Amino acid sequence: MYTVADLKKGLKIILDGDPYLVVAFDFVKPGKGQALYRTKMRNMINGSLLDRTYRSGESFEPASLEERSMEFLYKEGDHYTFMDQQTYEQVVMEEETLGDAKNYLLENLKAEVMLFGEKAIGISLPNFVNLRVTATEQWAKGDTSGNDSKPATVETGYVLRVPPFIEEGELIVIDTRTGEYSTRVKG
């Protein structure tokens, strides 16, 4: 168990059954008064923010979260299945929980999956992933419209802006932190 003295930014605790991350913390104590511990916490499942003030004597259950290396197996409807390559354990994540990560999920992609008990609540991807362009318009030579980018669809169905010289079938590098085109993989 944690006490109020353990509260600090980055601490993970369980509140009403959900894991929360302390994102802001301050200790407040008016002269001759009782100490107050002010926190702002983020629900690690749905991302909602919560302000809570505690007093000394209160205690918290630590949220035991585990990050495990897993591989993306397949998608079925809104459900994405991952597998631990060592134990062959499988977990399912919903599209909503994945957020933007769904744009880069190609079979066999390795990712760090955050587990709260049995439940997968988050994912962290490699900073860069390689994806093949499945559809983009041909670059017309002599195009003077001044556009320095055009839309392209990659194999996961994700659409992003790429430079005009990128052609269908090419492998490109995407920065998963920004969702933007990074460079072309030279064949």
Binding site for other proteins (CB under 8 A): 5, 26-36, 53, 56-57
| Tokens standing for residue 130 | 């390689």
At a CB cut-off of 8 Å and minimum separation 6, what does 146 contact?
Answer: none
Based on CB atoms, which residue is closest to other proteins, 14 or 36?
Answer: 36
Closest CA to 62 of 50, 44, 47, 46: 44
Based on CB atoms, which residue is closest to other proteins, 10 or 187?
Answer: 10
Q: How far is the CB of 133 from other proteins (least distance, A)?
A: 49
| Tokens standing for residue 119 | 């439940």
Only one residue has tokens 């205690």, namely 59
Based on CB atoms, which residue is closest to other proteins, 24 or 159?
Answer: 24
Rounded distance, CA 184 to CA 178, Å?
16
Q: How far is the CB of 28 from other proteins (least distance, A)?
A: 5
Based on CB atoms, which residue is closest to other proteins, 54 or 158?
Answer: 54
Based on CB atoms, which residue is closest to other proteins, 36 or 44?
Answer: 36
For the chain, how are helix, strand and coil distributed in percent, rounded to 5? 5, 55, 40
Q: How far is the CB of 57 from other proteins (least distance, A)?
A: 7
Q: How far is the CB of 1 from other proteins (least distance, A)?
A: 15
Q: How far is the CB of 37 from other proteins (least distance, A)?
A: 8
Rounded distance, CA 79 to CA 91, Å?
10
Cβ neighbour number for residue 165 with a 10 Å cutoff: 9
